[in-house]
Amino acid sequence: MVKILVIGDTHIPERAHEIPRQILDMIGGEHFDFVLCTGDLTDERVKELFARLGKLYVVRGNMDFLNLPQSAQIEADGFTLGLIHGDTVYPRGDERELAKEAQKRHVDILISGHTHRLAVSSTEIERRKVLLIDPGSATGVWGGGPASGIPSFVILEIKRNQVIVTSFELVGESLRKSKYVFEKI
């Protein structure tokens, strides 16, 4: 099994001082094979924090002035994952446009951010299922669009031809989780 943390859009220190304690407690007690960050860290210290949790892949967000790549692609237990910030997708977070991006990149799972709104969905492209994930903002900060304002992140567990997606949202003082199962066709 491959375990992956999907997180991003922290905007520390410009819009938030830190990631909420409840989220740090949850992710800090785990070991991840990979940490995939959608960008807009805006501070090298956040990158260093995420790098301590597992092998880090991070892309540059539109508010980052760090030396980061525009995109990344990894293989995990038979799945190809693509990682982008999402600021080139218009309208922001549009599922059809994200599906086109996944098709262009030949990925099974496309991870993007920029919306600051948690979203997990699947779609079919030319008889092939594609999973689309936006972890939202780990700090819940405003993002210039219809953001939720709720701090969130995602954990993926990949085994054979199945991905178990567990999304977490900080509601009040508690982390609320939801599960979604994705299987390759």
pLDDT one-digit tens code per residue, 149-178: 999 999 999 998 899 999 999 999 999 999
- The span from the CA of 156 to the CA of 2, in Å, is 8
How far is it, in rounded angstroms, from Cα 19 to Cα 168?
14
DSSP 60: -
Average pLDDT estimate for 7-24: 96
pLDDT band at 127 (very low <50, low <70, confident <90, very high): confident
> What pLDDT score does 116 carry?
96
- Please enumerate in sequence order all residues whose Cβ is within 8 A of that of 32, keeping only pairs 6 or more positions apart, or say none: 3, 4, 5, 53, 54, 155
Residue type, 29: G
Per-residue pLDDT at 24: 97
Other CB atoms closer than 10 Å to residue 29's CB: what's the count?
A: 7
- Please name the residues in contact with 175: beta carbons below 8 A apart, sequence gap of 6 or more: 22, 23, 26, 168, 169
* Residue for token pair 């210039």: 144
* pTM confidence score: 0.96
For the segment 75-83, the average pLDDT, to the nearest whole number, is: 96
Q: Can you tell me the distance from the alpha carbon of 168 to that of 126, in angstroms, rounded to the nearest whole number?
A: 31
Q: 141 and 15 in contact (C-beta within 8 Å)?
A: yes
Q: What is the CATH number of domain 2-183?
A: 3.60.21.10
The tokens for 18 are 């830190």
29 confidence band (pLDDT: 50, 70, 90): confident
Rounded Cα gap, residues 135 and 111, in angstroms: 8
Helix (H, G, I), strand (E, B) or coil at 136: coil
pLDDT of residue 118: 97
Taking the C-alpha atoms of residue 103 and residue 11, their distance in angstroms, rounded to an integer, is 29
Task: Give, for 124, the enclosing helix (H) or strand (E).
Answer: strand 118-125
At residue 6, φ and ψ (nearest 5 deg) are -120, 120
Average pLDDT over residues 105-126: 95
Checking if the pLDDT of 72 tops 90, the result is yes
> CB atoms < 10 A from the CB of 175, how many?
17
What pLDDT shows up at residue 126? 82
Find all residues with CB under 8 Å of 52, minimum gap 6, and list them. Answer: none
pLDDT at 147 over 80: no
Residue 128 has what pLDDT? 87
More confident residue, 178 or 29: 178
How does pLDDT run across 44-59, given as a tens digit for each residue?
999 999 999 999 999 9
